[in-house]
Copies of this chain bind each other. A is one copy, B any other.
Amino acid sequence: MNPFIKRLIDLGEISEEEQAAMLAACQPPVRVAAGEDLVQDGSQPGFSMAILSGIAFRYKGLDQGRRQIISFQVPGNGVDLYAYALRRLDHGVQALTACEVSHIPHSSLDQLISIYPRLALTLWRETIQDTSIMREQMVRIGQRPAFERTANLLCEMAHRLTGTELQLGEAFLFPIGQATLASALGMSPVHTNRILKQLRDANLAILSRQRLTILDLGGLRKAGHFDPSYLEPVRLNAGI
């Protein structure tokens, strides 16, 4: 099934009719090569996107080549759904791996939402989940020392990639260079390298050859003070 639709179902009860309507609003998949921008910083797209396969990331660039990676987007995630209400993007989105994305024109969203208001709430929830991840990233960068910080991010990625096509048994396809990882962690590439070595030496995780291999999930979680509750899907009418 379309992983984006699957995700929306996870986020809230949506009828088959709504699913079909959402699916119809998604344009045929576009392939984007690794390293390409899905949308440019500062552009004014008339569409949002859903990631069908692959990993992308959002980033904000500074002068002199430095940049901060804001968050990763995995299959099923929407990308800049809230660009729907933004005139001008304040960040870029780039493909980490080759990606398949579906464009969703904002005009289609207008129609969709006017017919199925509940869908709007579900889409909104997807963006909210996104902000939860951003907050966690902020805590990571602002408060956690390098080792814990790195372990924590790897835990998050493993968690989010679980169940996607990118899971390969105990390992995950996560072809990120150390320089790129460094700009997600807010630390230097050299230090990132050393921390990865420490994680390897501690038999917690290995990141190499396009792959993230978790050797000791429990240990990695402890090292990263990782608590996945912020990633659990948020159902409006569940629980209480």
A residues at B contact (CB < 8 Å): 44, 60, 62-63, 66-68, 70, 82, 84-88, 90-91, 113-114, 117, 120-121, 124-125, 127-128, 131-132, 134-139, 141-144, 185-186, 225, 229-230, 234-236, 238-240
* A9 to B: closest C-beta gap in Å: 16
Q: CB-nearest residue of chain B relative to A124?
A: B85
A62 to B143, CA, bound (A): 9
The interface residues of chain A, by DSSP majority, are classed as: helix
Q: Which of A87, A91, A120, A132 has the most CB of B within 10 A?
A: A87
- Number of this chain's copies in the assembly equals 2
Which of B117, B134, B139 is within 8 Å of A131, CB to CB? B134
Which of B62, B135, B230 is within 8 Å of A70, CB to CB? B135
- Whether A85 pairs with B138 at a CB distance below 8 angstroms is no
- Whether B124 pairs with A90 at a CB distance below 8 angstroms is no
Q: Which 7 A-B pairs have the closest CB atoms?
A: A142-B186, A68-B142, A68-B139, A141-B142, A85-B125, A82-B128, A90-B230
Q: Which of A60, A67, A229 has the most CB of B within 10 A?
A: A60
Which residues of the other chain, B, contact A62 by a CB distance below 8 angstroms?
139, 143-144, 225
A85 to B82, CA, bound (A): 15
Beyond A66-B143, A85-B234, list 11 extra A-B contacts (CB 8 Å): A60-B138, A67-B143, A68-B143, A82-B131, A85-B236, A87-B239, A114-B117, A117-B117, A134-B134, A137-B138, A141-B186
CB-CB under 8 A for A240 and B121, given A66-B143, A82-B128, A134-B131:
no
